[in-house]
Amino acid sequence: MKPTVYVINGPNLNLLGNREPEKYGRATLADVEALCRTAGERHGFEIVFRQSNHEGELVSWIQEAGRAGAAGIVLNAAAYTHTSVAILDAIAAITLPVIEVHLTNIHAREPFRRTSYVSQVAKGVICGLGPQGYGLAIAGLAGLAGQETRT
Ligand code: CA2
């Protein structure tokens, strides 16, 4: 059985591609999911892809990934990145690597976006590269897991 990577997306990311394309681009969340599945195939991972607008649901999925013994989590917690001690605590309570991803460069935007609770407990952080950041995060998890990659 292939190891699993959870890709977890936070609030409003369901709107991707339909609103504010100048900020977040034209790719939809379905496009991001397809990109993740392609990267998963390349790196030998099963992909569980989720999105929620609810903080507690994100916390439950982080716990689920921990219980399931996943290879890692790719997490775009969206606005909860900057506010959620609950998500920080959930990540701190599991041992799997979490790669924090943002479509935009959160350091080049409003000052409040420079604070990330997720970064304090993430193994790595990728931001500003758009949807390809998700693929790079999956490649990073493959490297950490010593996973064979298809050329
Ligand atoms: O750049 C990112 O990926 C963010 O996580 C996106 C969040 C934002 O709060 C973070 O600071 C950075 C916002 C997600 C909202 O997504 C939308 C997509 C299309 C239209 C409106 C919102």
Looking at 6, 43, 102, 117, which residue is catalytic?
Answer: 102
- Concerning whether 24 is annotated as a catalytic residue, the answer is yes
For the entire predicted model, the pTM comes to 0.98
pLDDT 10s digits, 111-120: 999 999 999 9
139 Cα: distance to centroid of ligand 1 (angstroms): 22
- Tell me if 51 sits within 8 A of 9, measured CB to CB: yes
pLDDT 10s digits, 135-151: 999 999 999 999 888 87
**Strands 98-102 vs 124-127: parallel, antiparallel or unpaired:** parallel
Q: Which of 12, 80, 114, 126 to mutate to test the pocket of ligand 1 (most atoms within 8 A of CB)?
A: 12
What does 85-113 look like in DSSP terms, one character per residue? Answer: HHHHHHHHT--S-EEEEESS-GGGS-GGG
